[in-house]
Amino acid sequence: MKSHHSGRRPPRIGDDPLFRRVLLGVVLFFVAVIIVAPLAVIGVQAFSKGLPYFAAAIAEPDTLHAIMLTVLTALIAVPINTAFGIAAAWAITKHDFVGKRLLTILIEIPFSVSPIVAGVAYLFVYGLQGLFGPALESAGTKIMFALPGIVLASMFVTAPFVARELIPLMQAQGRDLEEAATSLGASAWRTFFSVTLPNIKWALLYGVVLCNSRVMGEFGAVSVVSGNIRGQTNTLPLHIELLYHDYDAVGSFAAASILATLALVTLVVKVALERQGAGRSNRPATLAGNDKLSEVKP
């Protein structure tokens, strides 16, 4: 005799249609109010005086300098943090050493420290009255209120992005493939480029995209170390605030639209990378790794 309970699954939280509608409504309301509305206001205000005014606001010399300084900072900070993230992930996941746990904690520190606090700390290290300030001044090297200080502050706040994307993935992959490649006679560099890098490329690109987005949008730490000098040390986020304080609301929103566009592009790239990662072969890691190992055999 068939059981009355056969084919029935236990009820789950949220199965009630009314509950689902209310939950979805709450989520959509917060998304509309907190995310969509501000982005829409930026676009509307940026073009409120027409396209010619928008173009003129973007072409204004100080705005162009802020854009170029922001791009230059990203071009310096992102590759350095990428190299650091790869090295840190490799050291933590592929080697055993004293202080490994401490190193992992130190890499995560920028996520728990306020960017403004980081900027002030850099002042006390590299400023004129700081630890290395007098030596740097006597050598004619300027760190604070110049490009080097902006790059350092940006590197601090974005240091964990690449590493935190790679470490969990490389821990899950283990060391077997690298050890097998080494046993086949591959050098450390060939093992990295032929075995490790192909297995982490999507996570690496994901971390780089997030790092670049944060560098271009960083405000707190850069505002302390840059000096906010118009046309010299103002990055785009700082220039947006300066325009707003000058009561140039349309110019401020025009400049802000660049960062908003960057955020949307970052989101599109992020989704594309996630799909690329999910679309990879579902073969077991050992089988996929065997293909890579065949490339390093003498």
Q: Which of 219, 222, 215 is nearest to 262 (CA)?
A: 215
Helix (H) or strand (E) holding 96: none
DSSP of 210-268: HHHHHHHH--HHHHHHH---TTTT--HHHHHHHHHHTT-HHHHHHHHHHHHHHHHHHHH
Q: How confident is the model over 103-161, as pLDDT tens digits?
A: 999 999 999 999 999 999 999 999 888 899 889 988 889 999 999 999 999 999 999 99
pLDDT at 4: 53
CATH 3.40.50.720 fits 50-294, yes or no: no
Structure tokens at 90: 């490799």
Stretches in the chain below the pLDDT threshold 70: 1-15, 277-298
Q: Give the whole-angstrom CA distance, residue 201 versus residue 165.
A: 11
CA 116 from centre of chain: 18
pLDDT at 279: 35
pLDDT at 6: 53
Q: Which of 250, 223, 251, 246 is nearest to 235 (CA)?
A: 223
Structure tokens at 120: 């002030």
Helix residue spans in the chain (DSSP H): 17-31, 37-46, 51-59, 61-94, 100-112, 115-126, 133-138, 147-158, 160-173, 176-183, 188-191, 197-217, 220-226, 236-245, 249-278, 285-294
Phi first, then psi: what are they for 283, rounded to 5°? -65, 150
Asked whether the beta carbons of 157 and 139 are under 8 A apart, the reply is no
pLDDT at 108: 92
Burial classification of residue 108, based on how many CB atoms lie within 10 Å of its CB (0-12 exposed, 13-18 middle, 19 or more buried): middle
Is 82 in a helix, a strand, or coil? helix
